[in-house]
Every structure is written in C-alpha cells, then in structure tokens.
Chains A and B, each alone.
Chain A
Amino acid sequence: MTPETVLEVRDLRVRFGTGVDAVRGVSLGVRAGETHCLVGESGCGKSVTALAVMGLLARGATRNAALVAFRGTDMMALSEREMARLRGDKIAMIFQEPMTSLNPAFTIGSQMAEVLERHRGGGRRRALDRAAGLLGRVGVSAPGMRLAQYPHQLSGGLRQRVMIAMALMCEPELLIADEPTTALDVTVQAQILRLLVELQRDLGLAILLITHDLGVVARVAHRVSVMYAGEVVESAAVDELFAAPSHPYTRALLACVPVPGTVRRDQPLGSIPGTVPRMRPGFVGCAFRARCRYAMDVCAEAVPERLRAPGHRYLCQLAA
C-alpha cells in the first residue's frame, strides 16, 4: 500500500505583474513520511512555487493550476480565511534566514504560544508548556529559559531550531522548508538536517524541501524535482536521479559538485555558463537550450516529456 498523498500540485503556473512567467506548469506530489526536494539555481522559481502553494504570492502575481490539493481538498477553491486557518496549522513553513524570521519585539515563548492559541485556542499556560516540550524535542537546551528570551539572544542555529519547533506547534502534516539550512554553518546544517529526518520519522511529516544544495538532496530526499526556468525538467526518486541523470541540466548541475579525490587541485571548478533566463509569455521550446552543450535546432520546438523508468520523467529532445 502506498502512503497517502498529502500535497498534490498539477500544472501550477505563476505570472508576475511584470509579465514574467515565474512558474510554468509545475506538477509534483508529496506523500506522508516523504521528503520531496525541489532543486535548482537562484531565480528558477522554487520559492515562488512554495509561496504559490501556500497562497502567499506577492501583489500582482497571478496563480493558475489544474489542481493544488492538500489531502484531497482543492486549495484553489478555499477563501483567504480558510487558507489562513490551514497555514501554520496543517501546513507549516520555515524560511531561509533564521536571523530575520523571528519577530524581534516578542519573546520566543510568546511567539510560539501565539501559533497554538490562534489555531487551537486553549490557554497560554498550556501553549507555553507545549512550546517548552517542543523546544526540548528539537534539541534546544534549557527550553524553559529560552521561552523568556528574545530572538537576538539566540544564535542562528538555535533560531532555526526555534522556527522548526514553532512550525510543529499544531502538529502539521506538511512542512514546507525554503532553504532551511542555507544560512547556517556546515556543522549546524548537518544537525538541522538530521533533526528534520528524525522528526519526519517520528511524526510521519510530509516535507517539501527547497534547496540548491545537492549535498542536502543526497542526505534527506526521497524524491527530487529539478527545476529550471519555472519548469520541472526532471523528476525521479533520489537514487535513480543520482544514478541516471537524464536531463542535460541535471547532469551539468551534478558535474558542478566537486568530489574530493576525483577533482584535481589545478582543475577549474565546474560551472554552467550563463544564468537562468527570464521567461516571457509565449516562449516555446527548451528554456535551457541557450546554455546546453547538446542544443540542436529542434530544441526551439515544443519539448516532449520522456519516461526513463517508472516515476522518472524528464523534459528533453534527447532520448535516454
């Protein structure tokens, strides 16, 4: 029996007011107990995808989709009030910058308790007890004391733990993590990732993890979607993706990761020349063709979706 699909997105499109197509037909699914990694360069639309799922796009951006469903409920049909009830309750989100994600004007305890009180009611005392318990659970020492502290009294790693604990206040089923370890030291990064994996195992969380770091992907992902210029260009189970990368962009990304022992000291580090293009409406063909070493004339035409193995899809003219 396959575990239940918690989040399902089909053909999600986001257009900014400036006439840029930020997300162009993204489809993905996250199942309970599964980590789905969304990988790509800066500006490829990963974060916008997450914000669109949460219904938190900035003014002027429009969202279109065949389906954005949480546990079978179509979120596109929910009112803003109903969405607000879902956010922070069943769907929680953590952000990249732990240094600025906490309100500097209130104590940790006050901010954590507020989440539970807003969604579940109950007294402050009970909320603070739960907050202290969760802080202990995410590995914060002396949780009782931390509750009375202000964000500026905590280090970056501690703040990210607080953010994670805060996200868990209402026992969410889906956690959307937007580059949760990017701003942290490598050692702290490893601790936070280990924590996320543990929490997922214990709580059966579905996690949508956004990252540009393939090292992170290799550690925590079950499924990977590689995004480029607003499209998922390749999607596969994590082992499959690393073993048989099929889209030239995925291969180029993997080639950029230096491997100790195989990369010689005088050899230049890998890179993909150029940057992610801004997609204007009406664009046809492969968005990667300007940077692709296999680009052909046919790449300017509509790109077929190819199936390499069950559950392993990619968008390219090249057959596997």
Chain B
Amino acid sequence: MIAVRLRMASTLLGAAIVLAVAGVALLAPLLVPHDPFAQDLMTRLVPPMWLDGGQAAHPFGTDQLGRDYLSRLIYGARISMLIGIATVVTSGLIGTTLGVLGGFFGGWVDDAVMFVITCRLSIPLVLVALAVVSLVGSSLSVVVLTLGLLLWDRFAVVSRTTTMQVRNLDYVSAARAAGCSRVSIMLREVLPNIVHHLAVVATLEMALAILLEAALSFLGLGVPAPLPSWGLMIAEAKDYMFFTPWVIQIPGIALFVLVLGINLLGDGLRDLLGAARDA
C-alpha cells in the first residue's frame, strides 16, 4: 500500500515538474523580468537574492555579461523542451516505422531492420553527434536533426517486439478476414495497441536528448551562443565556478530536476499502463 502511494506520488511529482517546465517554456515572454539577451557590464555576476549582495531586480543574479539569470533560465527551458520534443518526434517516426515494418512483415524485412538497428547501435552516439555538428556547424535545427537521426534505436527495438506480439493476436487475423489491407492493419490494429509502450520510450528518449544537448552545448558544439541553453549556461559558468558557484549550480539543478521529472513520469506511465493492461 505504501509502495503504491509512493509510486503514485512520484508519478504526480514527475508530471508536475514536466508540466511546470512546459508551462514556463510556453509562457516565457510573459514571465521573464528582463530581456535574456540584454547585457549590462555594470552588474556582472550579481549573486542571487538569497545571498549577500543579492538584488531584488535579479532574483537568480546575473551572469558574467550581466544578463539576468532567471530570464535566461526561463528561455533555456524553451530550448530544452523544444530539443526534447522535436528529437522524440523525429526519432519516434524513424524508429517506429522501422520497428513496425520489421515486426509485422518478419522474414527478410525484419532481417534488414535488425541489421540497420545493429549498425546504429555500433555507432558511438556522442562522437558522431560531435563530428556532425562540428562539420555542419551548430544550430538548433542541426542539433535536433542529429539527435533525432541517432536516437531512434530504442523506438525501433520496442515497436518491433511489441508488433510481433500484437500481429499474432486474433483481432489482427479478424481484420485480415474482414478485408483490411496490410497498411491499414499496421495503422489501425497494431499501432494503437503498442503506443503505450512507445510513450514510455518517448520519455526516456526525451530525457536523453535533453542531456545530450546539454553535453553538446557544454562542449561548445550544441546550440550556439547567445541562445540561453542550460548546457551552454553551465559551459559559460565553468570558468567562474570556484568564485561564484551559483552560476553553475542554478542551470545544473534546473537540468537535473527536469530530467528527473521526465524519468519519474516515464516510470509512472509504465506502471499505470502495465496495470491497466493486466486488469
């Protein structure tokens, strides 16, 4: 009973975090106290308001160029959510298409899909992402596209195995006996019945994409400055971390909380959907 309550609470906490960050990202222009790009070299590295020397005008302080840290953090939520969602949509489309085709048709189609998945798994993710971004040049769309083209493997694996389970069920035979084409069986009989598995994968991949973007930005190959990405904020703050630790703590905590929230939500979804299936 306590375990169930705890799980429920952690799911709700995860959902609340994700919703809050999504809301902040959507309403960013209305919420920010200052222009996140406006520099003011007279007020550089002002500490947050709860520390000595803090100013009410800059609740989270300012960075090394005097930009309001709260405003940048809020706009950073936009970048993180955008990257997370766009990457999941891209990779989800690629992975699910491959996986459903392989799982449904079996035979040589499946062999081909498995080969592609194996190839993808043999590619070192971060290295290739770094190489591509440094070759093509970094921009938001390049980062999204690179991550989307790399992160589809779990979608493919999960949709392939679940499609294999569903394709042998009676309602798929019944649909064929009722004259459905293969395409409409995949779209109407298979996909709606595996989508709950894919939702769980989507949360995992979203968290991973956000972390990878942060890593790329930290290495200077993610979204280009002066866009306020959380990873970029951490990167820019690392030179000052020994003297003004909050500049690295604040975006670091934000990143941690968002990824934690997404993962809690994913775990919760898995439990809830699993329970609904078993009932």
Q: Which of A239-258 contact B (CB under 8 A)?
A: none
Known interface pairs A59-B106, A59-B107, A106-B192; A101-B174 also in contact (CB < 8 Å)? yes
Q: Which residues from A are CB-within-8-Å of B177?
A: 54, 56, 87-88, 92-93, 95, 176
Q: Which residues from A are CB-within-8-Å of B188?
A: 103, 106, 114
Give the dominant DSSP class at B's interface: helix
User: Are the C-beta atoms of B169 and A119 separated by less than 8 Å?
Assistant: no
Question: In this complex, what residue of A is CB-closest to B169?
Answer: A100
Known interface pairs A102-B171, A103-B188, A104-B193; A87-B106 also in contact (CB < 8 Å)? no
Known interface pairs A103-B188, A103-B192; A115-B178 also in contact (CB < 8 Å)? yes
Most buried by A among B107, B170, B176, B179: B179
User: Are the C-beta atoms of A95 and B181 separated by less than 8 Å?
Assistant: no
Q: Which residues from A are CB-within-8-Å of B181?
A: 84
Most buried by A among B175, B178, B188: B178
| Chain B window 180-213, contacts with chain A (Cβ cutoff 8 Å), 1 for yes, 0 for no | 1100100011001100000000000000000000
User: Are the C-beta atoms of B170 and A101 separated by less than 8 Å?
Assistant: yes
B118 at the interface (CB under 8 A from A): no
A316 at the interface (CB under 8 A from B): no
Complexed CA–CA distance, A92 and B177 (Å): 7
User: Are the C-beta atoms of B171 and A101 separated by less than 8 Å?
Assistant: yes
Q: How many residues of A contact B (CB 8 A)?
A: 29
B173 at the interface (CB under 8 A from A): yes
User: Are the C-beta atoms of B176 and A166 separated by less than 8 Å?
Assistant: no
Residues of A participating in the B interface, judged by any CB pair closer than 8 Å:
54, 56, 59, 84-89, 92-97, 100-106, 114-115, 118-119, 163, 166, 176
26 contacts between A and B (CB under 8 A): A59-B107, A84-B179, A85-B179, A87-B176, A88-B177, A92-B177, A92-B178, A93-B174, A95-B173, A95-B174, A100-B171, A101-B171, A101-B174, A102-B171, A102-B174, A103-B171, A103-B175, A104-B193, A105-B193, A106-B188, A114-B188, A118-B178, A118-B184, A163-B174, A166-B178, A176-B177
Taking A89-B179, A176-B177 as known contacts, 18 extra A-B pairs with beta carbons closer than 8 A to each other, sorted by chain A number, are A56-B173, A56-B176, A84-B181, A88-B178, A88-B179, A88-B180, A92-B178, A93-B177, A95-B174, A97-B170, A100-B169, A100-B170, A101-B170, A103-B189, A105-B192, A106-B188, A106-B192, A115-B178
Q: Which 9 residue pairs are nearest across A and B when measured between Cβ atoms?
A: A88-B178, A105-B192, A88-B179, A93-B177, A87-B179, A100-B170, A101-B170, A103-B171, A84-B179
